[in-house]
Amino acid sequence: MEPQDVPVVTAPTGAAPVPARNGGVGLQARLNWLRAGVLGANDGIISTAGLVLGVAAATSDATAILVAGIAALVAGAVSMALGEYVSVSSQRDTEHALIAEEMRELAEDPQGELLQLAQIYEDQGLTPATAMQVARELTAKDPLAAHVKAELGLDPDERTNPWHAALASAVAFTVGALLPLLAVVLAPPTAREPVTFVAVVVALALTGSISARLGKANRLRAVARLVLGGALAMATTWAIGAALGATVV
């Protein structure tokens, strides 16, 4: 099948940088923010709760517990932000490279790319004639978007901003970490451990339910995994802290 009236794709000059597009905040970007936020909150709750309970098991000094908790909050928030920024930046760099390569192929061989696009739709179940018609119409509207979506599964208008992801992770971690920190500091000395444990379990159940809803997963299973994992982490650090407090401190 020889394509006719193939839309012409103008070759970019120089190194063919990826063009600036609308860059609107789409569904995928919002879901990535929510994902980073939920994960950050869970990490903040579990890691800070484990640390403050371990310290509380070793000593009753409220100042030592508070200092340890604040250090964990700051270090964890910075680590989460940096990790999310590096991860998303690496993903964006890869996407930019793939899109730039697709631009080059469109500029050098538009007919071959049109045939390739039609073949993709034909492989998905369309008849050859319908597949070619769809490929032609999509190419006429936006050849780059058509090929990037069909071949790479990417949307050139929806790429996650690494700064947004980093900020979401840092803020979520801080909010999550504040709960066990405030619980262990504000609770009476004789009830620090149980109050913190209950507060953390409730918070983990809530974030687990939210994450399951976002991912359309089984809510009970997601909550059970998170609560059991958090409880195990707190019990382990508390036992270590108690053992060290009795033998070292």
Task: Parse the chain into domains and list their residue ranges.
Answer: 28-242
Instruction: Kindly indicate the confidence band of residue 11, based on its pLDDT and cuts at 50, 70 and 90.
Output: very low
Is a pLDDT exceeding 90 seen at residue 152?
no
Backbone phi, psi, residue 20, to 5°: -75, 125
Q: Where does residue 13 fall: left (phi above 0), alpha (psi -120 to 50 degrees), or beta otherwise? A: beta
Instruction: Say what the pTM is.
Output: 0.69
Segment 50-84, tens digit of pLDDT: 899 888 888 888 888 899 999 999 999 999 889 88
Q: What is the pLDDT of residue 150?
A: 82
Instruction: Determine the pLDDT at residue 70.
Output: 93
For residue 177, what pLDDT is reported?
Answer: 92
Q: What average pLDDT does the structure give for the chain?
A: 80
- Using pLDDT thresholds of 50, 70 and 90, give the confidence band for residue 93: confident
Confirm if 225 and 42 have CB atoms less than 8 A apart. Answer: no
CA 243 to chain centre: 37
Instruction: State residue 34's pLDDT score.
Output: 67
